[in-house]
Amino acid sequence: MSPSRHEPRSTPELRCPACGDLVPTTPLPAGDWTYVVCPRCASAWLHPLPDIDPATLYDAPYFEGGVDGGYDDYVADAELHRRNAAERLARLQQRLGGGGSGFRLLDVGCAHGYLLDEAAAADWDVTGVEVSAHARAAAQERGHHVVASLDDMPHHADYDAVGFFQVLEHLADPGHALSAAASRLRRGGVLMVETWDRTSRTATLFRGGWQQINPPTVVHLFSKVGLRRLLLRDAFTRVEVHRTSKLVSLGLVTSVVAHRLGPLEGPARRVLERPSFARRAVRYPLDDLVTATAIRS
């Protein structure tokens, strides 16, 4: 059950999951939920954390119905996901020193496995982690080895690259996930995190209407400073955080608009019924998407 709607009067002293500082937090109400904001790094997180099994949050409706910040039709955008996966793989290859085969990739939050497909086609050895039974089954049907949790992985530091693409913000304990990833990444290996920047101009402009404010599925709203400090707290060095880009479908954009602006839901849904429009890919134009890269020390 969701906590009852209320506005906290106090500012409890909490330890920021991003920067690690113990700070008096500021509430950021979000409907029936509340994020709290760290005054040091400007990251925010849901408090209290959702007492919900993640496997139930990311069931089929998340990928097919656009609920809780999900996708209006994930499979229908397969070609778009493949193009994004190819770009992400190219960034990983560049950080590993260029092209070549034989690299080992661990993709955390692999969804239906499109990045696994692209990497396997480039002769990489690939493994996925995916909490959603619905998405995990889709990746396994295409022959990939995918487990439900990082804790199900053997503790061998033999991966060349670990990816968290659009997933770290959904995890209750991102620090634990990064530590688990670090223990499976060889020294000199590359960690890559794609997420959203709460301190971007876009997030600042939209404030409470920012598209990433989607409790309970989105637990963390990182800032670039907080994300960098989170990575540096673990076994990572040479951390860089840059604005990045990806392709999105007009259907997804329309679904987000419909969710945020209730009166437009009817017209937006009619647009979504036109596949020639809804599945068209466009380059995401705003400044709130970022990619962090780090090297395992």
pLDDT digits (tens, 9 = 90+) for 22-67: 999 999 999 999 999 999 999 999 999 999 999 999 999 999 876 7
B/e letters for 250-283, b = 16+ CB within 10 Å, e = fewer, are bbbbbbbebbeeeeeeeebeebbeeeeebbebee
Domain 53-296, architecture per CATH: 3-Layer(aba) Sandwich (3.40)
HEC string of 52-70? CCHHHHCCHHHHHCCHHHC
Question: How many angstroms separate the CA atoms of 120 and 145, rounded?
Answer: 11
pLDDT digits (tens, 9 = 90+) for 205-249: 989 989 899 999 999 999 999 999 999 998 899 999 999 999 988
Report the alpha-carbon angle 275-130-269, nearest 5. 25
Please give the structure tokens belonging to residue 59: 């069931």
Q: For position 5, what pLDDT does the model report? A: 44
pLDDT digits (tens, 9 = 90+) for 243-265: 999 998 876 666 655 555 555 55
Q: For position 6, what pLDDT does the model report? A: 44
Band of residue 175 on the pLDDT scale cut at 50, 70, 90: very high
Question: How many angstroms separate the CA atoms of 282 and 275, rounded?
Answer: 14
pLDDT over 70 percentage in the chain? 86
Band of residue 131 on the pLDDT scale cut at 50, 70, 90: very high
| pTM above threshold 0.85 | yes
pLDDT digits (tens, 9 = 90+) for 134-153: 999 999 999 999 999 999 99
Q: For position 204, what pLDDT does the model report? A: 95
Question: How many angstroms separate the CA atoms of 55 and 57, rounded?
Answer: 6
